[in-house]
Structure 1
Amino acid sequence: MAAASFLPLHLPASPRLATIARAASGVVPAAVQTSQLEEAFGRKGLKFGTDATGAPTAELSVRNGSSLQVRLNDGLVTSYRPKVYWKDELSYREVLHTVAGADAVKGGVGLVLNDASSSSTSLLAGSEWSVTDADSDSYDAVQVELGCSAGKGGTLEVSYVVTLYELSMATAVIVKNNGSKPVELTSAVLSHIRFDKRRGTAVEGFQGCPYCSHPPPASGFALLTPAEAMKREESGWFGGGGEEPRQGAWTVEENLYTVLKKKVSRVYAAPPEERKKRIYNTAPSKFTTIDQYSGLGFRLIKMGFEDMYLSSPGGMYEKFGDDYFLCTGPASILVPVVVGPGEEWRGAQVIEHDNL
C-alpha cells in the first residue's frame, strides 16, 4: 500500500510522493538485508543499518537535522532527536527513553496489537516484518512503511508507517481483516518520553476528563510490566500509594497540570457506559508534556483511538537509568475495536513541538 494513502488520516501535511517498488522478501543475514534495502529504498534522508543487537534499522533525517531511528524487525522507534532551542542555543534533544540490552531493546515508541479475547496474546509476536514502501521529498519529510501478516492464519494485514518531519514525527497503523470472521482488537501506540528529573514532570490537557487506574496493555518493549505498573508505591518523600483510585473506579481530573512524580497507571477516556449514549464527551485528542528542568514541551496527538494511556514509574525509574520517563500514548483498550471481514481500522499518533 503506498505511503501517500495515509493522507486521509490527516497526518501533518507533506507532498504526495511517488511509490517505490517493493523489496523482495525472505530471511537473509542482517548485513545482506541492509545492503538490499539500501539499494532498493536508500535515498537522501533515508539510510539503513543495524543497531547494537544486530537488528536492521532505518535512519530517517530531514533538512533541519532532526532524526529518527526505527527497528525494521518489529517497528520499534528507538530514537527521535528533533532540533530544538535548548539551553540558550539550537541543539538536538533525544525525546525517547530507550534501554538496550545484549539481545533486546525496550522503551521508545512501539505498536501494541492484541487479541481482545486474551489481554496477553500479542497478534504481532513472531510476525515477519518487511519494508514495503518509502517516500521522501529530500527536504522536509521522509517516510518508511513496514508490513506484516498477523492473527490466525495470517488473516490480518498490518501496515505501519513511520514519518519524520522537521517539527514532528508520526506513527500510523492500518489493520485490514482479510479473513471471513470479525476480529476484536485492543491496541495502542505507546511512547516512553524522557525527562531530566523526577520533580517537575507533568502533563497539561486532561482537566475535566474522566480516568481510571488501569494496567498498560502487554507488550514486548515495555519497561514496566502490567503488574509493576499497577503495584502501589509506598508513601514517602514523593507521596503516593492511596491517592490513586482502585482499578475500575472512575474519577475526573480536576487539575490543570497533572503532576507525575509518583507512580500512576491510568486510562483517560469516556467510561464504556457513557459510550452507549448517542452523545458523549470523548477523551482529549491531545495533551502536552511539561519538563520543568529542560523547559521543553511536546504535544502528543491521537487519531482513530478512543483512549489515552498515561503512566509514570515513580521510584522504579532508577531500574532503567538516570532519566525519568513517562509511558503514554493513544490506545483502544477499554472497548475492543471490531474489524469485520474486508474492513480496515486506522489509528495514528503524532509527537510534535514548537520549541524553536
Structure 2
Amino acid sequence: MAFCTPTATPTPHTSSWKHVAFCNPSRLTAGAGGGQRGARLAGASLEVRALAPATAADAAAAAAPSSPNVDYLAAEFAGHGVSFEAVGGSCAVKMEVRNGSAAHLLLPGGLVTSYKPAMWHGAPTEVLHTTVAEGPGGRAVIRGGVSMDLRCGAGDGGQPPWSPGGSWSLRDVRGSPTGFIEVELASAAPAEEGCGCGGVEARCVVTLHPEALAAELTVRNSAAAGVALSAAVSTHLRVSTPDATYAVGLQGSDYRTMDPARTEFTIVPPEFMSRSPPPAAATTFPHRWATEGFDAVLAGRLGAAAQEPDGEEDDDYKQMTAEMCRIYSHAPRQFTIIDRGRRNSICVQRRGFEEVYVLSPGSKHQWYGRYAYVCVGPTMLEPILLGPGATWSGAQYLHNPNF
C-alpha cells in the first residue's frame, strides 16, 4: 500500500513564525523564495554522501550543545498533543495521537529517538533502534533512530561545507491528537566571513500520523550565489536479528557496495571501525566515502570511481543475514522491511531523493542486541546545485502496514 504525502500537512513556508527558545538560537533570515529547481553539478559522477566522516562525528559528540529552555517551550507550545521533557542537556518533544501511536524527537539535535506505531495486536510497538553510551565528560550520547543529514557547500568547493548538525531550533507545533501532530524545526548557516553558505536556511518537519511518521526537509538558498547541496535520512530499524529480516521490493535496482559512513548518530559495529584498508585501496571510492563523506563530495575528490554500479539486485526478498552496506539506484519509491522474528514490517517511502541506503551488520551479533538493526533511508548519489532563490525539498515516510 503506497503512502503519499498527506494533503492535510501544511507547507512549511506558509506557517507563521514563533520565537526560538534556545540559548543559542539559529537566526533565520528572510530571503526570496523560489520555485523548486536545481541542476545537477557538472561532473555528475560525483557520489554524494549525506553522511559525515568519522572525525566530524567525534567532534560533534565532544561539543555539548546549549540546553533548550524546556519551561518556555512547554508554555509557548502547549496543547496540540505535545509535551516537553528535559533529558540531560537536551529536550525530548513527545507526540501521541488518539490511536496510541507515539514519537519522540530530541532537541537541538533533531534526532527522532522513538516511533511506536499502533499495531494489529492492540498495543504500540517500538520500531526504531537507539543506543545510549557515555561520551566526553560523562555526557550521554544517543545514536540510532531517525536522523536528517544535510550538507551545503559553495559551488566552487573552496569553503568547508555547512550542516545544521545539532543546531535545530523549534519553530512551530501544529495539529492535534485527533488528527496528526506536526513539529517544525529550523536552522540557518552563519552569515560571517568564511562560511560559503551564508543565506542557506534548512527546515525539517516531523509529522506523526495515526499510521505513519513523516520527516520532510526543505532547504532554501537566499544567497546571491549557488550552493552544492547533499542530503540523506538515516533510519535505524529495530529487528530481532538480521537473519529474520528481509528487504522486499528492491529487485532490479543497481547497487554499489561500500564501507558504512560514520556520522554523529549512526551506529556502526566495531569490526567496521577497526578495518584498515591497504594503502592501494586508500584512494578508492568506498574508502573515501566512509572516511571523508561530504567533504570529499563537495570538493570534487571522488572522481569517476563511482560511475559504474557493482551489480543489480536479483532478489525481491533480500535477506539481511550477510553483512552488507549498499547504495541502491533506480530503486522503487517504496520498499518494505519485514522482520519475521518480531512479526512486524515497515514500508519506507521517499520523495525528492533518487537513491536508497541499506546497511545490515549481519546476523553474527546477539539477537535483539546492540547490533540487531538495519539502517535504511533515502540519499543522493549526486549533489544538487541550488541556485540563488531556489528551494529543494525531500522526504521520508515510514508507513505502518500493521495498523
Residue of structure 1 in register with 2:75 after alignment: 39
Alignment of 1:189-268 (within 5 A): 189-224=233-268, 228=272, 249-268=309-328
Pair 1:77-2:125 in alignment: no
1:303 aligns with one of 340, 347, 351: 351
- Contact 2:199/2:222, CA 8 A, preserved across alignment: yes
Q: Distance in 1 between matches of 2:274 and 2:364?
A: 12
Question: Given the superposition, is the C-alpha separation of residues 100 and 284 from structure 1 closer, same or farther in structure 2, using an over 3 Å criterion?
Answer: same
Counterpart of 2:47 in structure 1 is: none
* Counterpart-to-counterpart distance in 2, 1:257 and 1:267: 17
Separation of aligned partners in 2, 1:137 and 1:173:
21
- % same residue: 29
Shift of 1:295: 1.7
Q: CA deviation at 1:44?
A: 3.8
Q: CA deviation at 1:128?
A: 2.7
- The answer on 1:133 being equivalent to 2:172 is yes
1:352 pairs with 2:352? no
The DSSP-based 3-state class of the residue aligned with 1:77 is strand
Which residue number in structure 2 is paired with residue 56 of structure 1?
91
TM superposition shift of 1:321:
3.1
Letter in 1 for 2:128: L
- The correspondence for 1:111, drawn from 123, 131, 148, is 148
- The number of aligned residues is 316
Assess if the C-alpha contact under 8 Å between 1:78 and 1:98 holds in 2. Answer: yes
Task: Give the C-alpha shift of residue 353 in structure 1.
Answer: 1.4
Q: TM-score, normalised by structure 2?
A: 0.71
2:232 is matched with which residue? 188
1:92 aligns with 2:129: no
Partner of 1:341: 388
Offset of residue 339 of structure 1: 0.7
Offset at residue 137 of structure 1 (A)? 3.1
Distance 1:130-1:256 versus aligned 2 partners, 3 A rule: same
Could you say what the CA RMSD is over the residues aligned between the two structures, in angstroms? 3.1
- Name the residue aligned to 1:331: 379
Per chain length, whose mean CA-contact separation is higher, i.e. which structure has more relative contact order (CA < 8 Å, sep 6+)? Answer: 2
**Paired residues of 1:194 and 1:323 also in contact (CA < 8 A):** no
1:130 Cα deviation after fit: 1.1
Shift of 1:42: 1.8
- Residue identity matched to 2:85: G
Whether the aligned pair in 2 keeps the contact of 1:216 and 1:309 (CA below 8 Å) is no
CA contact (8 A) 2:247 2:337 kept: yes
Matching residue of 2:301: none
CA gap 1:176/1:57 in 2 versus in 1, 3 angstroms: same
What 5-or-longer segments of structure 1 have no aligned partner?
Answer: 1-8, 233-245, 270-281
- Judging by fraction of residues, say which structure has more strand: 1
- Say if 2:18 is the partner of 1:22: yes
Give 3-state SS (helix, strand or coil) of 1:83's partner.
coil
What's the CA shift for 1:67? 0.4
How far, CA to CA, are the matches of 1:44 and 1:179 in structure 2?
35
Structure 1 residues 225, 113: CA separation in 2 closer, same or farther (over 3 Å shift)?
Answer: farther
The CA deviation at 1:231 is: 5.7
For 1:134, what is the secondary structure of its paired residue?
Answer: strand
Q: Does 1:13 align with 2:45?
A: no
Partner of 1:149: 188
In 2, Cα distance between equivalents of 1:202 and 1:305: 22
SS at match of 2:224: coil
- Decide whether the 8 Å contact of 1:160 with 1:172 is kept in 2: yes
Structure 1 residue 316: Cα displacement: 7.2
C-alpha contact 1:229 1:313 (8 A) present in aligned 2: no
Whole-angstrom CA distance in 2 between matches of 1:32 and 1:106 = 19
Q: How has the CA–CA distance of structure 1 residues 343 and 230 changed in structure 2, closer, same or farther, with 3 Å as cutoff? A: farther
